[in-house]
Amino acid sequence: MNPALESWTQAARRALPAMRAWREVFHREPELSNQEHKTREKVLRALSELGIPYRTFDDLAGVVALLGADRTGPVVALRADMDALPLEEATGLPYRSTVPGKMHACGHDIHMAAVLGAAMLLARERPDGGPVKLLFQPAEEDGLLGGAGPLIEHGCLERPRVDYVLGLHVDPGLPLGQVGWGVGPFMAAADYFRIVVRGKGGHASTPQQGPDAVLVASEVVVGLQALASRVRHPVDPVVVTVGSIHGGTRHNILPEEVVLEGTVRTVRPGTRDLIESALKRRVRALAASLGARVLISYRRGYPALINPPEATERVARAVEVELGKKNVLRLDEPMMGAEDFARYLEKVPGTFLRLGVGQSTRPASLHSASFAPDERAMVVGAATLASATLALQGPGP
């Protein structure tokens, strides 16, 4: 592409009708993690329309496509996640979900369409560019195993070997038209815990016969907050949240068991180890002090997403040229949400960006039944991915 003639953004505007059509097709039939078979077929049809060869897998609902197999230069992979969430859509959009209880409430339909749009631009506007892999990944919302690891195990970063990987995620905290970037810890590691508190059931009028599992569970919930406030360094981000409590059947019956489930978010490996051991120690001590027994299950999920400096800064400079410096924001504080894109960055350099979809006319909260990002964000997303790809395939600084 000759920058004097047309920008990536201008080309992406011309591609918006195609991206809009793809996005609406994805949005109408959302599928949950590891069930993305119809979504995969839609992706395959789009790739066929673009003339981009692909490969699939019998045991994984992912797609790996390769644009420019005969090209030379660094191989850049663009990743899009495919799965939806178990929510009943309440957007009122004309192309709203037709599947009861399922919805693209995290913007993965936007991600897929933007990656397809970027592929269209790179194929048609820069046939002299380097090879580009397209990774359509299942199960990002799974939270523990995810889909990135299995796709890597299936060779998505090999044949040809990927030199850089790029991804982005819609962010309602950024205005439409803006892109956020950051170096180092950009998103948190996410771990899961389940605590079973076992006391003595009985009549609510005789709690002295305890231990009372509800009381012990309550002490555990409060006590866990000290992990974030007193165990780690004050400037080291940590979140410990109990999101689920189940126990009891009636107001005047003491249950024998209460189950707590929650998540731990950290950005440093050492802190991750510290919080896990401190959580187990504190829960056992609290339960023992009140005469109860506990069973603790602690499972590690996605690692922290760490953006390497060299690739990230090259991408940021290229996107600033494309979108204007005022629309490309450096974000110095990590988001405490998690992303299994982190697993790609453990293998090869690259970067992960945030795509602004914030607006004042519609509710815009991730994982909300009313989440309805503006489709114009796909123009920015496709232009960003295209310009970042060429920046990584060109000469270094």
List, in sequence order, every residue forming a beta bridge with 64; answer none if it has no partner: 55, 135
Smallest CA-to-CA distance from 124 within 260, 243, 15 is with 15
Number of helical (H) and strand (E) elements in the chain, helices listed first: 9, 16
- Sequence-distant (6+) residues with CB within 8 A of 114 are 19, 80, 168, 355, 377, 378, 381, 382, 385
Q: Which of 302, 322, 339, 344 is catalytic?
A: 302
**How far apart, in whole angstroms, are the C-alpha atoms of residue 320 and residue 378?**
17
Structure-token pair, residue 192: 């899961």
Apex 49 CA angle, 48 and 52, nearest 5: 50
- Sequence-distant (6+) residues with CB within 8 A of 134 are 47, 52, 54, 63, 64, 65, 66, 67, 77, 78, 80, 115, 116, 119
- Sequence-distant (6+) residues with CB within 8 A of 279 are 193, 224, 227, 240, 264, 296, 298
**How far apart, in whole angstroms, are the C-alpha atoms of residue 64 and residue 119?**
13
Per the annotation, the verdict on 24 as an active-site residue is: no
Per the annotation, the verdict on 88 as an active-site residue is: no
**How far apart, in whole angstroms, are the C-alpha atoms of residue 122 and residue 79?**
15
For residue 258, give the DSSP letter: E
Residue corresponding to tokens 């663009």: 78
- Angstrom CA distances, 121 to 6, 75, 110, 125, stand at 12, 16, 16, 5
SS3 of 339-363: the string is: CCCHHHHCCCCEEEEEEEEECCCCC
Structure-token pair, residue 237: 């981000």
**How far apart, in whole angstroms, are the C-alpha atoms of residue 93 and residue 132?**
33
Residue ranges of E strands in the chain: 54-57, 60-67, 76-81, 132-137, 164-175, 179-181, 184-187, 189-198, 202-203, 238-246, 253-254, 257-266, 293-300, 305-307, 328-330, 350-358
- Catalytic site positions: 302, 375
